[in-house]
Amino acid sequence: MGRPPSSSYQRANSFTANDIPIGAQQQQALLGSPMASQQPSPGSPPPPPSHTQMPGTPQPQPPQLPQHQGKQGNDYYPSDIEMQNRSASSGAYYPQPYPHQPQQPMYTMYPPPPQPMYIQQADIYTGHPLKRAVFGPVRHAVFSQLSALAMLAMMIYELVRNWQLTGSVIQTQPNFNVMIGPSFSVLINLGAKFTPCMRPLPNISLSSPYGQCFGPSDTCTLATMCALPSTTAVPDQAYRFVVPIFMHAGIVHFLLNMLTHLRLGVDLERSLGFPRYVLLYMGSGIWGFVLSAMLSNENTASMGCSGALFGLIGYMFIDVLVNWKVIQHPWRELISLLISTIISLVLGLLPGLDNFAHLGGFAVGLVMGLLIAPTRPMATKNVQLLTWLGRIVALAILIVMFVVGIKQFYDSPDPSLICPNCKYLSCLPVNGWCDTNQPGT
């Protein structure tokens, strides 16, 4: 995408050097030539009188200004130059100044953003490069593009690995994977979030057999499914909080997530800059899987960047509230965002979807929005002070969420007993949906 047009806004009461009348002796000083050589060209208006007067000559009085136009010495009139309107016969015209009006926000930076987002147009790519790289805006969404390539490479590797272990590129037996991807066991083997691989459980051992492991009639132990070296090893694969963000249950799942990842994600990264966007994206995705590991069925595997994407949506709520006064139709944007979020969470109750990851990512997105959202344009000092106090509180809440969540997951004797009825936040009690072990996305 080409360079966006720079702001055409300038102060309405500003004057350029060509707009300021100067005296003859001032012209002589500027041009460095005798006054006699400064003959006006035919047809040009006579120069205005100079400030320099001979002794005994009465000084001209400054023009009487209306009250709303200020006085000499302010931004409207320089104190050392007499501003006066030329008559119509002189051929020159000086517009009367008027009070400064604030620039109206424009939403034309990236056509069109999928969600409301205020981006200042003035000085969009100016300033120190390091400051822009940290706080934005930036031209290129490096993390969004590189992470999309990593997810694509992981998707290809999943299909190759499924072919190596099962003899088929996608799962077709005993059930067909509607996402057009590998089997449940292969996804666990590659790093999907699966609680028995992440910590010891009271009723599950690494030697426990699993049917239909890598084939319809194949069985294997939990250690084999988790890619552990032996049945005596300790299941402590904490990397399963991070790796599943870059995995997907199939081609359909991958394409659906890329629609949001490469639209909303790219726009937000360009606005926030690389570091803040990475904190928002990865923090939402990781804590989404922490909450899923705590509350979901222990035999449910989940993967995908949906939790991170819900974190972006949570941030957008804060973005709308912060820029409420500069968005053209804030209520419309907020209601639209709320409806789309509710629909997505309701769809997360269907089988095969991990709503805990969605809810966890959304919660972190809300808190992270308070922490990293830019200060409201033209904010007063009191608003700026409240903004920084809110950021300190948000940082404390975020630390507590991660520390308590991870500690609760590992210290609880059985994570399934932390909140037994919370499973209905991710499934409907219909046809045994809450007891299935389908991979969640």
For the ranges 38-42, 333-337, 396-400, 420-424, the lowest mean pLDDT is seen at 38-42
The pLDDT of residue 373? 87
Task: Mark whether 37 is an active-site residue.
Answer: no
pLDDT tier for residue 430 given thresholds of 50, 70 and 90 = confident
26 lies in a domain? Answer: no
For residue 164, the domain's CATH number is: 1.20.1540.10
Structural domain tally of the chain? 1
110 lies in a domain? Answer: no
The pLDDT of residue 438? 56
100 lies in a domain? Answer: no
Could you give the CA distance from residue 434 to residue 377 in angstroms, rounded to a whole number? 47
Contacts of 423-427 with CB under 8 Å at 24 or more apart are: 423/295, 423/296, 423/297, 425/295, 425/355, 425/356, 425/359, 426/295, 426/296, 426/348, 426/349, 426/353, 426/354, 426/355, 426/356, 427/349, 427/351, 427/355
124 phi, psi to nearest 5 deg: -70, -35
Domain interval for residue 348: 129-435
197 lies in a domain? Answer: yes
441 lies in a domain? Answer: no
Structure token pair of residue 338: 């709320």
36 lies in a domain? Answer: no
Please answer whether residues 362 and 341 qualify as being in contact, where contact means their C-beta atoms are separated by less than 8 angstroms: yes
Task: Identify any residues that bridge with 209 across adjacent strands, giving them in sequence order.
Answer: 221
Structure token pair of residue 315: 């941030």
The pLDDT of residue 253? 93
411 lies in a domain? Answer: yes
Cβ-based neighbours of 65, under 8 Å, separated by 6 or more: 71, 72, 77
pLDDT tier for residue 60 given thresholds of 50, 70 and 90 = low
pLDDT surpassing 90 at residue 280: yes
The pLDDT tens digits for 305-361 are 999 999 999 999 999 998 888 888 899 999 999 999 999 898 888 877 889 999 999
Q: Which of 302, 358, 416, 426 is catalytic?
A: 358
* pTM beyond 0.85: no
pLDDT surpassing 60 at residue 149: yes
The pLDDT of residue 45? 53
Contacts of 277-282 with CB under 8 Å at 24 or more apart are: 277/141, 277/143, 277/144, 278/143, 279/368, 279/372, 280/311, 280/312, 280/315, 280/365, 280/368, 280/369, 280/372, 281/143, 281/147, 281/308, 281/311, 281/312, 282/242, 282/245, 282/308
pLDDT surpassing 80 at residue 24: no
The pLDDT of residue 229? 83
The pLDDT tens digits for 156-187 are 999 999 999 888 899 888 788 889 999 989 99
Structure token pair of residue 269: 């990264």
pLDDT surpassing 80 at residue 248: yes
The pLDDT of residue 378? 76
Structure token pair of residue 172: 């077709």
429 lies in a domain? Answer: yes
Q: Which of 144, 271, 292, 306 is catalytic?
A: 306
The pLDDT of residue 144? 95
Q: Considering only residues 225 and 78, tell me which one the structure prediction assigns the higher pLDDT.
A: 225
pLDDT surpassing 90 at residue 32: no
pLDDT surpassing 60 at residue 287: yes
Task: Identify any residues that bridge with 302 across adjacent strands, giving them in sequence order.
Answer: 193, 440
Task: Mark whether 306 is an active-site residue.
Answer: yes
